[in-house]
Amino acid sequence: MQDVLDRISTEIADLSPQLRLAARWVLDHPNEVAVCSMRAFAARAQVNPPTMMRLARRLGFDGYDSFRAVFRDAVVGTGGSFQDRASWLQELAVAEGDAAVAHGIAEAASRNIAGLYGGLDMDAVIRIVDLLQRAPATHIIAASAFYWMGAYFQFLGRMALPRLRLPRANGTPLTESLISVERGDAALVLTASPYARQSVQAARFAKERGATLAVLTDSRGSPLAAEADELLLVPMTSPQFFPSMIAVAAAIETLIAVAVSRSDRATIDRIAELEQLRRREGAYLEHRKGAPG
């Protein structure tokens, strides 16, 4: 965003009067670009909407949406504070209405899913699955909201990966829950900005004890990225004040699906046995076709 603002400052004297008016408004109100549609921003700048399109193209963008995305990402990117991003949500609702908030979440979810699968390194996925399948034990390291994603991985994955463990601090340091880690084990780490100190410390502790480290994180700038034996990058940007878990869930489901597809007959038998056990114990409500709902 700062690069765009610097370029506007450099070129503003050469712009037409209408473009100059729009450019000044951008310089003075950059956060409004992030929350306003082209029509709404043009109204505030007292220019017509095509002027905003011309300004965006003058600055090298293919349209207003890609121009606006630079400002939006600067405000709601993973580097912003929770307070800044929560405030942005309120500003968006005031400027564009509640529907714009939902639309922003939908856009971010779509971008994250597309980003995950568009850049997915299947060789890395297969190496991680092979690691988890052959390790004597796999310790899932996840704190805060990521703990529940770790629980989701364990719940779904235990049929294909029966040696999954999910240590929980329970008031004590997470490292203490990893005292059973042995050489040859695997440690699967789920973390994103802001990176939980106890997750980073626990991952390093597990590696010191001889575990192979597989890390699912949001950036190559993550404190564990350089230390990972296997790295899977997962986009988590969101207008919400906390990182989006949409692509994390998709990555987890992909790993489990690949694990099942590369497993043996015993895995299929274990899945069938668990399903039969649940039905025998009444874990699911049975709904007969044609019966009253």
| Predicted local distance difference test score (pLDDT) of residue 290 | 57
Residues 38 and 55 in one domain: yes
Number of domains forming the structure of the chain: 2
Mean pLDDT of the 29-50 span: 82
Among 71, 100, 116, where does a domain finish? Answer: 116
Using DSSP, state whether 262 is helix, strand or coil: coil
Phi, psi of 227 (to 5 degrees): -95, -10
Does 93 fall in a domain? yes
Residues 193 and 138 in one domain: yes
Among 72, 92, 116, where does a domain finish? Answer: 116
Does 33 fall in a domain? yes
Question: Which position has the token pair 């999954």?
Answer: 164
Residues 224 and 82 in one domain: no
Residues 12 and 125 in one domain: no
Does 166 fall in a domain? yes
The pLDDT tens digits of the residues spanning 131-168 come to 999 999 999 999 988 999 999 999 988 888 889 999 87
| Predicted local distance difference test score (pLDDT) of residue 178 | 93
Per cent of the chain over pLDDT 70 is 87
**Looking at per-residue confidence, does 291 or 74 come out higher?**
74
The pLDDT tens digits of the residues spanning 5-20 come to 888 888 888 888 899 8
183, 171, 89, 104: which is closest to 139 by C-alpha? 183
With the C-alpha atoms ordered 129, 131, 137, 138, is the resulting torsion angle positive or negative? negative
The pLDDT tens digits of the residues spanning 231-275 come to 999 988 777 767 889 999 999 999 999 999 898 888 888 888 888
Does 291 fall in a domain? no
The pLDDT tens digits of the residues spanning 196-222 come to 999 999 999 999 999 999 999 998 889
* CATH for 49: 1.10.10.10
31 close to 72: Cβ distance less than 8 angstroms: no
Expressed as residue numbers, the domain containing 173 is 120-280
Does 292 fall in a domain? no
